[in-house]
């Protein structure tokens, strides 16, 4: 994967983020509210972010609940977010995916059905992931999902509005090639690139994953942000049964992330990550998740009798 031509060279230096996000003349949103939602079944965090002065809001990484044994999907996680939106009188503008999740189904389409004006966005390299997994699932060429599965594909460094909220895209590949983080004010939503300091980092053994890339994403791009930048993680596996935690800071991660601290070298990290990944098993919902998530969170089209079927490759 080292020969991958993705233009990291174009990335803005970290002092630019400092100017772009924290200096008063550049920041449009000075105050924002963040509410986290936790899906116990997959240990996933979703976030609702809003501007309390305009009520403009966005949702990051919503979950559609799925029981693989029965095939039942339920919208309880999405309904929780909907209720929070309704009770605060918010105007949701966008749903942002940090990546195509491999362990849970996205709730983005269920949310879009509730709020029809919502736009769904994801990092532009999703098209690579769509290609890879269309092959894995043997999807016929004319049925392969592409850019049209999303309302908007985002480029590294792009800054876009969601109502009065201003969002900066920071490409943070490694867990998957298309992973992005979202910087909103002083808060960085990192998806599965980085977890709480006692949990480490995302695995890098999915197709297109790359531990060297993840090191660069975390060490150069995230740890180059101002130390007080708040970090909101995409999962918390509650190691040792500790209470749920999902918010930390750049300085806390730099000082104490168990897998990747400021002083950890690239080789040390890559050795550790590769070794750990060798022992990990596939996520329980790997195939259902990717089948749905490369289609922007859409369930498979129903047949004439309204039944939907997933594809699940078998090997061995």
Ligand X SMILES: N[C@@H](CCC(=O)N[C@@H](CS)C(=O)NCC(=O)O)C(=O)O
- What pairs with residue 153 in β-bridges? 122
- Encode 38-47: b = buried (16+ Cβ within 10 Å), e = exposed: bbeebbbbbb
Instruction: Kindly report the backbone phi and psi dihedral angles of residue 94, in degrees, each rounded to the nearest multiple of 5, phi listed first.
Output: -145, 155
CB of 281 to ligand X, least distance (A): 7
At residue 208, the 3 state secondary structure works out as: coil
Task: Decide: is 59 part of the binding site for ligand X (CB under 6 A).
Answer: no
Task: Decide: is 97 part of the binding site for ligand X (CB under 6 A).
Answer: no
Alpha helices in the chain (DSSP H): 14-17, 76-88, 108-114, 126-137, 211-215, 250-256, 266-279, 286-293
Region from 165-173, 219-227, 279-287, 306-314 binding ligand X, contact rule CB under 6 A: 279-287
Give ∠ CA 144-146-187 in degrees, rounded to 5.
135
Residues 56-85 that bind Fe ion (CB under 5 A): none
CB of 100 to Fe ion, least distance (A): 8
Distance of CA 232 to the CA centre of its chain: 11
Residue nearest to Fe ion (CB): 192
Residues 148-177 that bind ligand X (CB under 6 A): 175
Region from 124-132, 150-158, 189-197, 272-280 binding Fe ion, contact rule CB under 5 A: 189-197
- Using the rule CB under 5 A, which residue among 39, 166, 192, 236 binds Fe ion? 192
Which does residue 284 bind out of ligand X, Fe ion, none, counting CB within 5 to 8 angstroms by kind? Answer: ligand X
CB of 305 to ligand X, least distance (A): 31
CB of 112 to ligand X, least distance (A): 23
**For the residues of 162-197, what is the DSSP string, one character each?**
ETTEEEEEEE--SSSTT-EEEEETTEEE-TTSB--T
- Using the rule CB under 6 A, which residue among 235, 248, 287, 296 binds ligand X? 235
CB of 141 to ligand X, least distance (A): 28
- Encode 245-273: b = buried (16+ Cβ within 10 Å), e = exposed: bbebbbbebbeebebbbeebeeeebbebb
Task: Decide: is 192 part of the binding site for ligand X (CB under 6 A).
Answer: yes
Separation CA 223–CA 234 (nearest Å): 17
Task: Decide: is 97 part of the binding site for Fe ion (CB under 5 A).
Answer: no
Task: Decide: is 304 part of the binding site for ligand X (CB under 6 A).
Answer: no
Q: Count residues near ligand X (CB under 6 A).
A: 12
Residues 100-159 that bind ligand X (CB under 6 A): 102-103
Separation CA 125–CA 143 (nearest Å): 19
Which does residue 276 bind out of ligand X, Fe ion, none, counting CB within 5 to 8 angstroms by kind? Answer: ligand X
Query: Binding residues for Fe ion, per CB under 5 A?
Result: 101, 192
Q: Which residues bind ligand X (CB under 6 A)?
A: 42, 102-103, 175, 192, 202-203, 235, 276, 280, 283-284
């Amino acid at each position: 994967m080292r020969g991958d031509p993705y233009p990291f060279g174009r990335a803005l230096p970290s002092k630019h983020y400092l100017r772009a996000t924290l200096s008063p003349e550049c920041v449009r949103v000075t105050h924002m509210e963040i509410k986290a939602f936790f899906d116990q079944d997959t240990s996933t965090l979703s976030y609702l972010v809003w501007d309390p002065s305009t009520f403009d809001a966005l949702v990051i990484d919503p979950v559609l609940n799925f029981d693989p044994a029965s095939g039942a999907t339920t919208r309880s996680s999405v309904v929780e977010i909907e209720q929070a939106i309704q009770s605060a009188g918010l105007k949701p503008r966008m749903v942002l995916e940090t990546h195509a999740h491999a362990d849970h189904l996205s709730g983005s389409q269920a949310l879009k059905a509730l709020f029809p004006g919502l736009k769904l966005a994801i990092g532009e390299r999703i098209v690579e992931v769509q290609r890879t997994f269309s092959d894995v699932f043997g999807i016929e060429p004319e049925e392969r999902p592409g850019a049209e599965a999303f309302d908007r594909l985002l480029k590294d460094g792009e800054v876009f509005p969601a109502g009065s909220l201003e969002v900066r895209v920071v490409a943070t590949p490694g867990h998957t090639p298309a992973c992005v983080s979202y910087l909103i004010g002083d808060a960085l939503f990192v998806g599965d690139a980085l977890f709480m300091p006692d949990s480490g980092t995302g695995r890098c053994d999915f197709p297109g994953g790359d531990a060297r890339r993840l090191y660069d994403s975390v060490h150069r791009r995230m740890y180059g942000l101002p130390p007080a930048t708040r970090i909101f993680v995409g999962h918390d596996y509650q190691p040792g049964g500790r209470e749920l935690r999902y918010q930390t800071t750049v300085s806390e991660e730099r000082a104490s992330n168990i897998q990747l601290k400021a002083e950890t070298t690239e080789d040390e990290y890559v050795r550790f990550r590769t070794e750990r990944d060798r022992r990990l098993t596939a996520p329980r919902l790997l195939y259902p998740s990717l089948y749905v998530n490369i289609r922007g969170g859409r369930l498979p089209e129903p047949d004439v009798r309204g039944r939907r079927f997933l594809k699940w490759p078998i090997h061995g």
